[in-house]
Amino acid sequence: MALCVERYMEKGRRYRVLDVGARVSLNQKLTHRQLLAGYDVDYTGVDVRAGQNVDVVMKKPYRIPMRSGSVDVVFSGQTFEHIAFPWASILEIARVLAPGGVAFITAPSRGHVHGTYDCWRYHPDGMRALGAWSGLDTVEAHTDFPPLMEDDDGPRVRYDYARLDTKNYYWGDSVGVFRKPLRHRSLSTPIMRAVVLWWANRAGRLPDASTRPAAPSRDDVLGLRAPAA
C-alpha cells in the first residue's frame, strides 16, 4: 500500500480517501491512514463492525454509505479474502469512485485460515477479473510468488514452496490497482449493480462457520505435523 501511495498519489492536491474494511485489531499499530501523512486528504474508514480506525459503520455489508462518484482513492487491504461475495463489493467501490479515481486492493495469495470467515485467495487473474466485472481498468495486478524451482527447465512454471522462509514468506499477497474510466460503462450498469447488491445483502452472512475444519496450529503451519484428515 505504501508503494501504491507513492506511485499514484501526488502531493500538493487534495484527495477524498475511502478505506473499505478499515477496522484494525487492538494489537495492530499501523493503519492506511498513517500512510497518508504529508498528504492533504479527507479520510473515511468504513467497516461492517465498529472499532479502531472506523469512522462509519456499514448498515449493510454490501452497501458503502458514500455518494456515487464522491471518492478519489479507495483502499482495501487484507479484507477481500473475508468478503463472501466480492463481486458485489467491487461494484460498490466502482460506484463511489469518481471518474479517474483509483482503488488499491491487497489480499492474500496464500496462507492459513484466519478470521471468522475466510473465503478466498487471489492471484493476478483474480484481480483482473474484479476489474473486468466492475468496469474498472486494471492498471496493475501482481502476486509475490515464491522463487521458481531451480531444476525447472520446462515450459511449466513451478514455484518452490518447500523453500519458503516461514517467518517472512509463509504469507503471500496479491495487489490490484484499478482506475475508473472517465466514461464508466453503459446505462445498464446501475441496473445490474442494484440486482447484485439486493441479492448479496439479502443473502447476508455465510452459513454457520462452526462446521468448517479448525484452523491449523502453529506446528501445522511450520510443516512439523501433518494436519488431521
SS3 annotation, 137-184: EEEEEEECCCCECCCCCCCCCCECHHHCCCCCCCCEEEEEEEECCCCC
Condensed to tens digits (0 to 9), the pLDDT of residues 43-59 reads 999 999 999 999 999 99
When pLDDT is averaged across residues 199-213 and rounded to a whole number, the result is 71
The pLDDT tens digits of the residues spanning 7-19 come to 999 999 999 999 9
Output DSSP code: residue 14: E
DSSP state for residue 210 in the 8-state scheme: G
Q: Which three three-digit cell numbers place residue 36?
A: 497518508
| CATH for the stretch 2-221 | 3.40.50.150
pLDDT, one tens digit per residue, over 155-190 is 677 888 888 877 777 889 999 999 999 987 765 778
Q: What pairing do the DSSP bridges indicate for beta strands 40-47 and 14-20? A: parallel
**What is the rounded distance in angstroms from the CA atom of residue 65 to the CA atom of residue 95?**
11
The pTM score is 0.86
